[in-house]
Amino acid sequence: MVRIEICEGKITIAYGQDHVTGYFLSISDERLWDSADASDEANAIAFKVTNGAGYFDLRTAPMGFGHRVELNTLLEYWKRYGVPDLHIQRAQRGEDLEDPVNVGNSNQQDANKGSKKKKNKKKKKAKAAHEDLPSTSGTDSFLAIRLSYQDRQRVLAACKRRQTPPRGCRMRSATTGRR
């Protein structure tokens, strides 16, 4: 499972892919949660919109949380919520989303770039860059990235250049469990 979270204030945008839900989008807005301080009418409206949980969920597979939609519809929402074009294009082609921890380290890229020395140097440099990243607790089953708005802009730029994300993002690989 690859799950990427973008935090913008009280809104958390999560998108990704797994074998159960296919490609997905989950938007959580804390302001739509039920509140003891709110009136019954305000909570009733929040319940109508999000079933009281404050989530808006879309998925492409027959099973999972939220509403099942066609891939093109999901990708339209991905665009609206700022998912990088690289991930949208991969989903359009039906490819797996890349693990952002390993962006810029794929074997195909290394084969195109040159000699073994360059390969080893790049791998060591990328590995060293990720050793300084703090780990996320409770995310062993999926890849999680929580980003501020400023870090999100840097990650989008890094995806375009296919380099590693900026330091300070908390991430863990779903396949290896390592940072």
pLDDT at 132: 38
pLDDT at 150: 59
> Can you give the pLDDT at residue 11?
87
Q: What is the pLDDT of residue 28?
A: 87
pTM of the predicted structure, to 2 decimals: 0.53
Domain ranges of the chain: 2-161
Q: What is the pLDDT of residue 138?
A: 37
The answer to whether the beta carbons of residues 28 and 5 sit under 8 Å apart is: no
pLDDT for 64 = 80
Token pair 């404050």 in the structure block, residue: 54
List average pLDDT for each run of 10 residues in the chain, which is 179 residues long. 88 90 89 81 78 78 87 94 92 82 44 47 47 37 47 64 49 45
